[in-house]
C-alpha cells in the first residue's frame, strides 16, 4: 500500500491546472448507454473512479477506448444489464446505470450500494422515482431488479434534492413516453452539464439548474460528444491549500460561478481572491479569521468542501462552528486532525474548532475521499513530517494531487507504506 509524505511549512506559489470534474464525468459516461453508437467524452480526469466506471461499461457490453483524457464508448451492443456488488461497493455512483439501462433495455439488475464511511446513503428516492415512471422494482438478495416495457412520463417530487437521484431520473425520463416533471431536483453544476449533454443527444430537457426540471421524452438519442467541466471541488481544495500555507496561487480554469459559496467564506476568513483573465488568484492573509459554515445542497456551501475547510479553520484566529447537514457521518477526519494538534470538539452534527498557531506533523490515516484531502492540507501547514496512509481513498477523486502540489513548492511525495 502507498502513503503520502509531507514536510510542511512551505507557502505554495505558482499556478495549477484543474482537471475535469469527477462528479460530472461519471454520469456522462453512463449517459452514453442511452445511445446506439460511439460517444466521445474529453477532459475526463485520470481517477480510480473513472477506471471503475469504464470497467462497468465494458462488463455491460460497451466497447470503451480510453486514451489520456479522452473516452470513446461504443454502446451499440449492450448485452449485460447487471451492475455487480463488487463494482457498486467500490463506487456507489455505479447505481447511475439504473436509469439508462431501464430506458434503453427495459431491464436493470443493480446491487444496492450498501453504506459507506460518510453515511448510509440509500437510493430509495432513485427507486421511488423510477417506479413513478412505471418501472417494476423488486429487491432480491441485495440487488435491485427493475423492469419496464416503456417508461411513462410522470410528475416526481423528491423528498430531498438528491444529486444521484436527479441524474438517474433525468437519464430515464429522456427516453420515456410523454412528459416528466422533477420537483425539488438537485441544482448542482454537474446536473446542468448532464442535461446539456442529454439535449445534445436529442433529449428535450428544460430547467436543469433549478428545482423544477421538465423532460419531454423522445424515442431515441444520438451518441454524445462533450468535454467535462472543471472540477469545482478540486479547485476549492487548491484554493484552501493556498490559504492554509500562507501562499499565493493562481487556480487556472477555476469554475468561479460554481464556487461562490466557498469564495464568500474564504473572503470572510481574510483570504484575497482576485478574478484574473487566466483564472482565480488566491492570496493568503497573514492571519486567518475563524468563520462558521453550514453545508447544504447547491448553491449552498458544498459538503464536499467541509473537511478541507475544517483543516483551514484549525489555523484560524478564533473559534469556528462547522455544521454538516447533508451526510450523517462526515467528521471522520476530525480525530486524525486532532492527532496533528487541532483543537476540535464534535457536538452532534457540528464541530467546534478553536484555531491554533501550529499544527504538528504526525502519522495519520485517510478514511474517505475528502477526509484524505483535509489531512493533506493540514500536513502542508504543519511543522515537521506528516505521513498519510490508505491513500487509495484519495486516488478515487484527485488526479496526481501530490505532483500538482509539488509543482507549487510543496515538499510532498508518494512512498511505499
230 lies in the site for ligand EPZ, by CB under 6 A: no
Please state the closest distance from residue 196 (CB atom) to ligand EPZ, in A: 16
Nearer to ligand EPZ, 123 or 382 (CB): 123
Kindly indicate which of the ranges 74-82, 123-131, 245-253, 351-359 contains the residues binding ligand EPZ, using the contact rule CB under 6 A. 123-131
The number of beta carbons lying within 10 Å of the beta carbon of residue 11 is: 17
Contact 196, 174 (CB under 8 A): no
What DSSP assignment string belongs to 53-104?
HHHHHHHTT-EEEEETTEEEEE-S-----EE-HHHHHH-GGGGGGHHHHHHH
168 lies in the site for ligand EPZ, by CB under 6 A: no
327 lies in the site for ligand EPZ, by CB under 6 A: yes
160 lies in the site for ligand EPZ, by CB under 6 A: yes
Confirm whether 116 is a catalytic residue: yes
Nearer to ligand EPZ, 217 or 397 (CB): 397
What ranges in 314-391 are assigned the alpha helix state H? Answer: 333-339, 369-381
Kindly indicate which of the ranges 7-15, 157-165, 242-250, 403-411 contains the residues binding ligand EPZ, using the contact rule CB under 6 A. 157-165
One of 44, 83, 87, 93 touching ligand EPZ (CB under 6 A): 93
Instruction: Provide the strand spans (E) within 357-404.
Output: 363-365, 385-389
CA distance 190 to 21: 8
228 lies in the site for ligand EPZ, by CB under 6 A: no
- Among residues 70, 71, 116, 335, the one annotated as catalytic is 116
189 lies in the site for ligand EPZ, by CB under 6 A: no
14 lies in the site for ligand EPZ, by CB under 6 A: no
The number of beta carbons lying within 10 Å of the beta carbon of residue 323 is: 16
- For residues 397-416, one letter each, b for 16 or more C-beta atoms within 10 angstroms of the residue's C-beta and e for the rest, the string is bbbebbebbeebbbebebee
180 lies in the site for ligand EPZ, by CB under 6 A: no
Nearer to ligand EPZ, 165 or 217 (CB): 165
CA distance 179 to 206: 11
303 lies in the site for ligand EPZ, by CB under 6 A: yes
**Binding residues for ligand EPZ, per CB under 6 A?**
22-23, 26, 93, 119-126, 160, 162-165, 186, 303-304, 326-327, 369-370, 397
Active site residues: 116
Amino acid at each position: 500500500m502507498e502513503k503520502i509524505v509531507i514536510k510542511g511549512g512551505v507557502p505554495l506559489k505558482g499556478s495549477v491546472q484543474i482537471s475535469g470534474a469527477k462528479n460530472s464525468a461519471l454520469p456522462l459516461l453512463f449517459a452514453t448507454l442511452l445511445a446506439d453508437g460511439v460517444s466521445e467524452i474529453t477532459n475526463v480526469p485520470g481517477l480510480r473512479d473513472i477506471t471503475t466506471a469504464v470497467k462497468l461499461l465494458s462488463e455491460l457490453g460497451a466497447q470503451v477506448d480510453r486514451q489520456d483524457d479522452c473516452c470513446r464508448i461504443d454502446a451499440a451492443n449492450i448485452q449485460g444489464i447487471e451492475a455487480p456488488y463488487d463494482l457498486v461497493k467500490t463506487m456507489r455512483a455505479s447505481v447511475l446505470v439504473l436509469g439508462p439501462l431501464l430506458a434503453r433495455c427495459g431491464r436493470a439488475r443493480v446491487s444496492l450500494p450498501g453504506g459507506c464511511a460518510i453515511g448510509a446513503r440509500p437510493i430509495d428516492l432513485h427507486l421511488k422515482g423510477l417506479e413513478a415512471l412505471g418501472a417494476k422494482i423488486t429487491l432480491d438478495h441485495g440487488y435491485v431488479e427493475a423492469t419496464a416495457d416503456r417508461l411513462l412520463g410522470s410528475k416526481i417530487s423528491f423528498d430531498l434534492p438528491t444529486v444521484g437521484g436527479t441524474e438517474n431520473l433525468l437519464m430515464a425520463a429522456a427516453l420515456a413516453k410523454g412528459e416528466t416533471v422533477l420537483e425539488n431536483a438537485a441544482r448542482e453544476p454537474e446536473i446542468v452539464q448532464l442535461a446539456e449533454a442529454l439535449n445534445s443527444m436529442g433529449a428535450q430537457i428544460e430547467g436543469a439548474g433549478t428545482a423544477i426540471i421538465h423532460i419531454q421524452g423522445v424515442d431515441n438519442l444520438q451518441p454524445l460528444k462533450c468535454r467535462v467541466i472543471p472540477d469545482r471541488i478540486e479547485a476549492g481544495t487548491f484554493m484552501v491549500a493556498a490559504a492554509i500555507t500562507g501562499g499565493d496561487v493562481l487556480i487556472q480554469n477555476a469554475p468561479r460561478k460554481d464556487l461562490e459559496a466557498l469564495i464568500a467564506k474564504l473572503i470572510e476568513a481574510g483570504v484575497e481572491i482576485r478574478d484574473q483573465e487566466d483564472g482565480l488568484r488566491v492570496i493568503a492573509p497573514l492571519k486567518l479569521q475563524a468563520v462558521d459554515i453550514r453545508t447544504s445542497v447547491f448553491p449552498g456551501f458544498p459538503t464536499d468542501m467541509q473537511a478541507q475547510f475544517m483543516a483551514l479553520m484549525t489555523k484560524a484566529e478564533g473559534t469556528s462552528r462547522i455544521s454538516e447537514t447533508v451526510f450523517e457521518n462526515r467528521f471522520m477526519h476530525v480525530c486524525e486532525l486532532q492527532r496533528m494538534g487541532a483543537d476540535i470538539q464534535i457536538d452532534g452534527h457540528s464541530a467546534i474548532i478553536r484555531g491554533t498557531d501550529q499544527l504538528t506533523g504526525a502519522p495519520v490515516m485517510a478514511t474517505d475521499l475528502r477526509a484524505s484531502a483535509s489531512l493533506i492540507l493540514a500536513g502542508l501547514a504543519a511543522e515537521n513530517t506528516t505521513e498519510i496512509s490508505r491513500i487509495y481513498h484519495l486516488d478515487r477523486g484527485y488526479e496526481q494531487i501530490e505532483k500538482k502540489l509539488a509543482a507549487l513548492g510543496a515538499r510532498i511525495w508518494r512512498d511505499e507504506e
